[in-house]
Structure 1
């Protein structure tokens, strides 16, 4: 490939890569294509994103079995929603085990007018524990319980202007006495992605001009500050900064959740077993589950029973308990393990790089068989990198846009290359079919970079062959007979030249001019020319026998061969050009052919040819002669055969 052609393809790859990137950028705003990228995230989460759930975060589940047993067992007789003293007993039990925090993923919005003493029991248990967090549900519209008072102490205080957050107009809060006793409150609303799958979590929300933390956020920040009172917490438009940890957020202030597998990755305890253990302790019996098992644990309480409708679709599971989502987010915050998406700018930059690289390879590699290994390495290398970054660094390297760019660029490159190769194939076939053997033409089509038509200087071997006395012969035979016999002779000689990968330059009347070493490079060009000359002599003998039997005149030939540096290329006028060789060494081969008559030989070669093929040929030195156009004498040899391989 010439430098100008290479530069042209490089520029085309850059322009094409930019065009593909801009096209895909526009497609990225279509929800269908954005959804494809979300599915690639789900697959990575399912196959690669599994981690170990924190054993210090446990879940007390309100499951189907507990609902059935608490209703039927005489010790309880409690139907859902449970009386508030049931929850008070659970708090006292966990508090006895010295838990770090208790978080209810349950709304306690209204007082129980039929049993105010049970509300009071829950409030008292909450005050005694001092570390109980309750859920608040923010909504848009008029669906809350209308309360506003008492939330100021739970709102986050920002340095400077607060970041952009989802704004809500109504709130469902714990009833007033419980709100006053709570160690903290946190919001529990989730907004799934457009396909209904929960992948992100709001860490804060705006209500009444204040920023309220999510339930997991409230627990995490309080626990981290308990360990480090000077810990700074600040949310900016792009991240939540908790001390040295910086958790990236999307434009709506939501964190992409890092999952630890499907449902039930955390340790679960049925609420019935803990309540039963509480009553055993109160009766002086050994408990089914010792509360000391919960020492320094963070306990989340929520529903997993199918009928309570707190199951969500996640990348790992279509039925994932909402309470375990809070546990997962809590672990993310405590460990700084959120998924980090790549910025849109870098996504487009990677798409451009990949598209440009693929298009460049497709344009520069003419053979399809060369595409697959290199493109396969590029494709699987990128996939491996995306998987490695996801598992090791929690980085969400985009797949849809870069891979769509990969395949679009490759398809476009193959199409352009096919069109270009078609023209190139036609050019090569049209130019060289009459010069060289079909297999050589196929080599040139497979390796078009070897075709240099503009004129180059290189070492070649050239052969001239001429019929002795052809002019006299043609004068005494009918024209039709002359042409027929000449065509028979020339066809046989050209087949020999082609068989030895020679290039037929031209016919000069009854003379043949051929050369070796171009258009396909051949380091053994001198040897090939010598072998061709010897076979031409053998084929001529068979033709002579045939002509003799047919009563036709016998033709004799002389052959001259020389090796040296020549100029080769497409030479001629704008109307007519030929692929040919010119130069002093070409003229010398012609002179050697003419000397055969003087020395009574059939094949004469120069010293240069002899030296390059001496390992395989038999020669007889003729001597040094003076030839026309040369000031110095030329050493010549008669070519007599091939050295036996044995």
Structure 2
């Protein structure tokens, strides 16, 4: 009952935490996100990038090869002007910079002027802007270039001055583009791209969203961001290769290389510090992040995801099923195997949904909740079983061999130890002869030590032969076979124990030569039905046996003096079949019985 109550309590506690998680705190969201990252790393190589979006990469090779032409980075803007002039001649769909141009080059104003004039002649050039976390602009939102498509919402503050880094190097009418802010999630990994940012009632579009609006790509209406569906195989062309080829009289590159393509100019070079942590890599080029966002909007394949809160029901269902399983005492290994199978199926469903439908299913957290319940409940089961084992050993370890108790526990048969009832057993009584004389001539300390040594040896033999120690009665021992553990050979084991107890007495006497000739024992055994179980008051119970079988065994022990050290009844002899020799010692009248009792002395066969 305690264990079942514990499983229910555990379920209620975890359901309360589950509600807090999905309702407000989202502390297991990171489990879903990290699992999604792993799936995306496997999915990206199977998800090719659009062929009409290319990156002109200011890579390490370009930084080295452009030294003679442009010097060290940052290069003069005239270099970029020459590059985009050559690209524009091929009629690209758009030339998108992933480089900020918010500051004038005071050391090279002529280079800025050339860049400004070149951009004025190329209407497909798009620039990035950046919204800072603090500060303000010298312009109000309403005064900013209309080409940025900053939209006024109904509750807009007319005096709002968003801290935007604008491409001030070019004239306002040519400042076409949008934000390239890329914010990481709470765990420091970027997975989403904002479509717009709101500032005091003014909506500022991102660069990918601005391109989507320009080209007629549909934008999601119910969110301010998209979950990026990462691609592989994006074409990167070295900036130096394109620039230097444009300077040659005889071109080596195709004349229509960039026709009708979206050309993004940025850097993947580690030394230029435009690397971010994403689902794919801890150092992912910012230019590829921008390209992925544009690609997703063009192909309309950004990742969709159902509301995460709905998956709390799945977690609750899994934990509820486990609770039922534990309450019904289903094997823990079977429950774990079943949960492992369900986890694998849900993982496969998440993978297939991502791969075939671009659907991100946050299934990892429900599975984690289920495993959390499983391991917690398994721990409760272990602790309950351990407590039961310790209780059983404490309860029965005094009367039967602790190893037998442990074996019954391992086999799940501990209930057999607690079953009371009438069964056929063999009862043994052993009493010391001459003990009264010995106790009168020895100190109490000597007597106690003597009895403890003697009882230890005799009880060890009883346990060795599978017997149950009932009690010590002064200097006598009472034991029985056949309960609580079923033993079809109880009579044979009891007789074997009695014979060995007799032999052990001789060894004991040889070790203690001062015991005297009168020190001896008598052992009586009888086989029959008796009541066995825990008997006693509520405050004190003992595992014992009662009935006529017990009384007769005690009477037989009393008849051993002057006859034989070990005597057994005819019932015990018959139960042993021919395993021992039995020397008859005639019929004896026993108190409380009308019929005389046939007694026999057992001996080992030679």
2:54 is aligned with 1:58: yes
The answer to whether the 8 Å contact 1:137/1:189 transfers is: yes
Q: Deviations over 1:609-641 (max 9, x none)?
A: 966x76x9347799999999999x999996846
> What is the correspondence of 1:152-551 to structure 2 with a 5 Å cutoff?
169=162, 171=164, 172=166, 175-178=171-174, 185-193=177-185, 197-206=189-198, 213-219=205-211, 225=217, 233-237=219-223, 253-257=224-228, 259=230, 266-278=234-246, 280=248, 283=249, 285=250, 287-294=251-258, 298-304=262-268, 310-314=274-278, 319-333=283-297, 334=299, 336=301, 338=303, 343=308, 346=311, 350=315, 393=354, 395=361, 406=372, 417=383, 425=390, 431-432=395-396, 434-437=398-401, 439=403, 450=414, 456-457=420-421, 459=423, 461-466=425-430, 479-480=440-441, 492-508=457-473, 511-518=476-483, 525=490, 527-540=492-505, 551=516
Tell me, in whole angstroms, the C-alpha distance in 1 between the residues paired with 2:138 and 2:487: 88
C-alpha deviation, 1:497, in angstroms: 0.7
1:617 aligns with 579
Per-residue CA distance 1:263-283 (angstroms, 9 max, x = gap): xx6321122322444455xx5
Number of paired residues?
Answer: 571
Q: CA deviation at 1:486?
A: 7.7
State how far apart, in whole Å, the 2-side matches of 1:481 and 1:307 are: 97
1:323 Cα deviation from its structure 2 partner: 1.1
Conserved? CA contact 1:258–1:339, under 8 Å: no
Deviation of 1:489 after TM superposition, in Å, equals: 6.3
Distance 1:475 1:624, change over 3 A: closer
How big is the shift at 1:208? Answer: 8.3
Whether 2:29 is the aligned partner of 1:6: answer: no
Q: Distance in 1 between matches of 2:211 and 2:548?
A: 94
Q: Secondary structure at the match of 2:77?
A: coil
Alignment check: 8 A CA contact 2:190 2:277 kept: yes
CA contact (8 A) 1:596 1:603 kept: no
CA drift of 1:152 comes to 8.6
Deviation at 1:218, TM superposition (A): 4.7
Partner of 1:126: 123
Where 1:236 maps in the other structure, the secondary structure is coil
> Shift of residue 89 of structure 1?
1.9
Counterpart of 2:525 in 1: which secondary structure?
strand
Shift of residue 317 of structure 1?
5.1
Deviations 1:470-520 (A, max 9, x none): 6xx678877457995987765553332122232210234665321235556
Equivalent-residue separation in structure 1 for 2:9 and 2:147 (angstroms): 62
**1:10-68, Cα deviation, whole Å (9 max, x unpaired):** 24533564687699899968xxx899869957984897676355262421123465467
- Aligned partners of 2:416 and 2:485 also within 8 Å: no
CA RMSD of aligned residues (A): 6.3
Q: TM-score, normalised by structure 1?
A: 0.63
Please give the alpha-carbon distance, in whole angstroms, between the structure 2 residues aligned to 1:94 and 1:458.
103
Task: Quote the Cα distance in structure 1 between the aligned partners of 2:521 and 2:25.
Answer: 78
**Using the alignment, how far apart are the partners of 2:291 and 2:240 within structure 1?**
20
1:91 to 87, 93, 98: 87
Q: Is the contact made by 2:435 and 2:519 (CA closer than 8 Å) also made in structure 1?
A: no
Q: What's the offset of the Cα at 1:88?
A: 4.0
Asked if structure 2 preserves the Cα contact closer than 8 Å seen for 1:156 and 1:211, the reply is yes
SS of equivalent residue, structure 1 residue 142 = coil
Gaps of 5+ in 1: 226-231, 238-252
**Structure 1 residue corresponding to 2:536, chosen from 557, 572, 575:** 572
Distance 1:423 1:69, change over 3 A: closer
CA gap of 1:26–1:641, structure 2 versus 1, over 3 A, is: farther
Check conservation: 1:355, 1:402, Cα contact below 8 A: no
Cα distance, 1:543 vs. partner?
A: 6.4
**Residue 82 (structure 1) aligned to one of 70, 78, 82:** 78
Give the TM-score normalised by the residue count of structure 2.
0.67
Between 489-498 and 450-459, the greater mean CA deviation after superposition: 450-459
Q: 1:142 aligns with which of 128, 136, 143?
A: 136
Cα 1:49–1:501, aligned 2, differ >3 Å: closer, same or farther? farther
| CA 498–19 in structure 1, closer or farther in 2 if over 3 Å, else same | farther
- Structure 2 unaligned blocks of 5 or more: 355-359
More displaced stretch, 525-534 vs 306-315: 306-315
Shift of 1:400: 13
* Residues 1:291 and 1:14: Cα distance change in structure 2 (over 3 Å): same
Residue from 75, 98, 113 that aligns with 1:105: 98
Aligned to 2:137, the other structure's residue is in SS state coil
CA shift for structure 1 position 306: 6.4
